[in-house]
């Protein structure tokens, strides 16, 4: 879909074209799709990351279901490095963080 919600290519026609593609064409298309998905994920991560700064107090739910609270030490390319109140170091995706208000 484009920005004005009009499809760039009719899905039925695209599906039909897929049926006639050879293996090399499909591998090329796959590479292009993966690159595009990675670009979208990176943009989403950048937007999420912009909500935080070094020194912010945050919380997140750990793998065991417990809530952890801590302070952001560093904003990395894809994750946020933080130190929890129980002195553990974590690298967490910004999508899982919630800013605490104090």
With a pLDDT cut of 70, the percent of the chain lying above it is 92
pLDDT of res. 45: 83
Q: Categorize the per-residue pLDDT at 33 as very low, low, confident or very high, splitting at 50, 70 and 90.
A: very high
User: If 0-12 CB within 10 Å is exposed, 13-18 middle and 19+ buried, where does residue 101 land?
Assistant: exposed
d(CA 91, CA 13): 44
**pTM greater than 0.85 (yes/no):** no
Helix (H, G, I), strand (E, B) or coil at 14: helix
Distance CA(65)–CA(1), nearest Å, equals: 37
CATH architecture of the domain with range 57-99: Roll (2.30)
Predicted pLDDT of residue 41: 87
């Amino acid at each position: 879909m484009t920005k004005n919600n009009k499809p760039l290519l009719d899905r039925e026609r695209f599906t039909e074209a897929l049926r006639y593609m050879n293996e090399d064409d499909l591998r090329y298309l796959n590479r292009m799709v993966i690159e595009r998905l990675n670009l979208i994920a990176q943009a989403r991560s950048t937007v999420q990351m912009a909500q935080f700064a070094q020194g912010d107090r945050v919380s997140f739910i750990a793998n065991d279901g417990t809530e952890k609270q801590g302070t952001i030490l560093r904003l990395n390319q894809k994750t946020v490095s933080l130190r929890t109140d129980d002195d553990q170091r974590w690298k967490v995706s910004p999508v899982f963080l919630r800013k605490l208000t104090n």
